[in-house]
Chains A and B, each alone.
Chain A
Amino acid sequence: MEMQVQSDEQRVTMRGADMVIHTLKQLGVDTVFGYPGGAILPIYDALYQSGVRHVLTRHEQAAIHAAEGYARATGRTGTVLATSGPGATNLVTGIADAYMDSVPLVVITGQVASPLIGTDAFQEVDVIGITAPVTKYSFQARTAEELPRLLMEAYHIASTGRPGPVLIDIPKDIASTVCPYPAAVPVERHIELTVPEPDAEQLEQIRHLIAQSRRPLLYIGGGVVSGEASEELRQFAQATGIPVCSTLMGLGAFPPDHPLFLGMLGMHGTYAANMAVTHCDLLLAFGVRFDDRVTGKLERFSPQSTKVHIDIDPSEIGKIVSVDVSLVCDVKKALQELVVQPPVTPDCGEWRQQVREWAQEYPLSFTQEQDRGLKPQFVIDLLTRMTDSNAIVTTEVGQHQMWSAHFYRAKEPRTFITSGGLGTMGFGFPAAMGAQIGKPESTVVCVAGDASFQMNLQELQTIAEGNIPIKVFIINNRFLGMVRQWQEMFYENRLSESQISGPDFVKVAEAFGVKGLRAATLADAGRVMQEALAHPGPVVVDFMVEESENVFPMVPPGKANSELVLKGWEE
């Protein structure tokens, strides 16, 4: 670091780039994910031998998904570095992914030197313009002195209220300018966010509605995970006896084996959850956003219920569904209030009985015949049994993602990591790297589709080089399975471009210096999975599964949740 003390003023001077690294260290950032290039060279120079760990991925998209995995697994803000132009545009998918799933990230991009901005200079793109719709906020630095403040604001904004990605674009000349480090450290912030406390009157209304209800239902989501409110949720459900269903993003926030848990609701939700949401008289929507994959046909979503919505983001209230009572606050605080001062326990024994019957009538299930090919569900169920759900599981996107949601019974928050809002193929593998770096003691498994894995498999080099011991379990059906399922069901089985080949994944892994294994039979599956989980380093396992399997239940697009197709059980 170029740093010198001026004798007259006793002020430390350094380059803007050094201020960036200095501030990151002050903020306790110990790991960054990134990829260097021309415009960000000063910052990489300041990073050199700074003590901040840098994970060099093989593609910027993987760097940002890794930072997301780190953030989703730990709750801490993820940090990304990339150069201008193509480096910055390669981040866009990850920024959008983090925005949709409310993941706290600070993304630092290099930019061409200030005098060149707006001239179509080499590797110049308007990254602020490109990413404005998918960032919570963004800054372009105009002086070196303001860099420490911008960074502090960026981390504050990314992690306060509803979390999200914040971008800082730093022109190369600003990063290279030497000037005194601002005197007041920590520098005063220009932007300060606050979150309202739960309103006592609205809490009282909610208590009243609960006490009156005969068929109440909790519909919980990612807000409970990111709000660290799962313990309070468990206490509240326990105290009131209200059944719980979860969105994809909420999985892990409530114990899957709890008698009140009905599983996931929505398009690939359980029969019990979808029937319960259709028939409840009070819907307690906590930390959710009424996504279309959850509601099905909106006009027929939960038609009989009074609706209560608690969320930290005021713009979510009434966005999709008009609600009767809303509360804008931290869901953890609201639940704490409702636990400390509980409502009169609702008289809902009959309802609980009804819900239990639905759950028993059509539980999630599959049949694995001894002498037939491997079922994908069996592989994931095996993972649950072999790890006792003590692993962190990340998924790619497609059928295997839904089977993971069904059969990997995540029992702790932040142990089921998936791209929910954007549905990004290529997310799961790099996210697993980031999760493993954030949680070095955990077993981290990426459940991947054979096609999704091909979107970022260059990262095998990153895990080989860094000995990042993640386990990649490929559910290999030789298809874009989810695409094929829709073509079978809604496009008269016209399988347009949904069959996809792949390389020999075992050989590919080995070529990168990663252990590769394959299982094609029932007997192999157990033995190979055990070997993979016991291996101290990274492993790729190619599970060759039956290619024709589809995901059920399914609420067909445009249909109501009560019209779910149960076909899976009838076979």
Chain B
Amino acid sequence: MEHTFLLTVNNHPATFLRVMGVYSRRGLLIDSMTINRGAAPDVSDVSITVQCDSRMAENLIKQLEKQMDVIQVRNGSDKSLAS
């Protein structure tokens, strides 16, 4: 099932390394990803779409929230929000 995660992150050099690590260590392939400059300086809005089951999606959200530079995560299962 397709899941889209909408993240607000601090834009630090290692932020994306850590965020991508949450997906890659679980062997997930990313279908699409966009990064935009966010409302505040040094903050970015990220949208990441992957195929996984809902249990995994829940797990991913918690793992993402655990990252210090991830300010917020939303499950944007509504696809119109993704791009």
Contact = CB atoms under 8 A, between A and B. Distances in A.
A133 B66 CA distance: 12
B14 A138 contact: yes
Interface stretch (B17-25, B27-35, B74-82): B17-25
Contacts of A319: 59, 62
Contacts of B66: 313-315
B25 A315 contact: no
A12 interface: no
Contacts of A314: 62, 65-66
Nearest to A169: B14
B13 A132 contact: no
A315 B13 contact: no
| Interface of chain A: mostly helix, strand, loop or mixed | mixed
Contacts of B58: 318
Most buried by A among B17, B55, B65: B17
Contacts of A400: none
A315 B62 contact: yes
Interface string B40-65: 00000000000000010011001101
A157 interface: yes
Contacts of A129: 14, 17
Contacts of A315: 59, 62-63, 65-66
Interface string A105-141: 0000000000000000000000011001100111010
A289 B63 CA distance: 14
Contacts of B63: 315
A157 B68 contact: yes
Contacts of B68: 136-137, 157, 191
A140 B63 CA distance: 23
B46 to A, nearest CB: 17
A112 to B, nearest CB: 16
A133 B19 CA distance: 10
A88 to B, nearest CB: 15
B21 A317 contact: no
| Interface of chain B: mostly helix, strand, loop or mixed | helix
Contacts of A133: 21, 25
A132 B18 contact: yes
Interface residues of B, number: 14
Nearest to B21: A133
Contacts of B18: 132
A137 B63 CA distance: 14
A315 B66 CA distance: 7
Interface in A271-329: 313-315, 317-319
Contacts of B21: 132-133
Contacts of A191: 68
Given A133-B25, A191-B68, A317 B62 contact: yes
Nearest to A157: B68
A196 to B, nearest CB: 13
Nearest to B63: A315
Contacts of A128: 13-14, 17
Nearest to B18: A132
B59 A318 contact: yes
A315 B56 CA distance: 12
Nearest to A132: B17
A392 to B, nearest CB: 31
B14 A132 contact: yes
A193 to B, nearest CB: 8
A38 to B, nearest CB: 23
Contacts of B13: 128, 140
Contacts of B65: 314-315
A138 B14 CA distance: 8
A319 B26 CA distance: 13
B76 to A, nearest CB: 20
A157 B13 CA distance: 18
Contacts of A136: 68
B33 to A, nearest CB: 18
A414 B16 CA distance: 36
A157 B66 CA distance: 12
A97 B59 CA distance: 23
A96 to B, nearest CB: 13
Interface in A314-357: 314-315, 317-319
Interface in A136-155: 136-138, 140
A44 B62 CA distance: 40
A129 B24 CA distance: 14
Given A314-B65, A315-B59, A318-B62, 11 more contacts: A128-B14, A129-B14, A132-B18, A133-B21, A133-B25, A138-B14, A140-B14, A313-B66, A314-B62, A315-B62, A315-B66
14 contacts: A128-B17, A129-B14, A132-B14, A132-B17, A138-B14, A140-B13, A157-B68, A313-B66, A314-B66, A315-B59, A315-B62, A315-B66, A317-B62, A318-B59
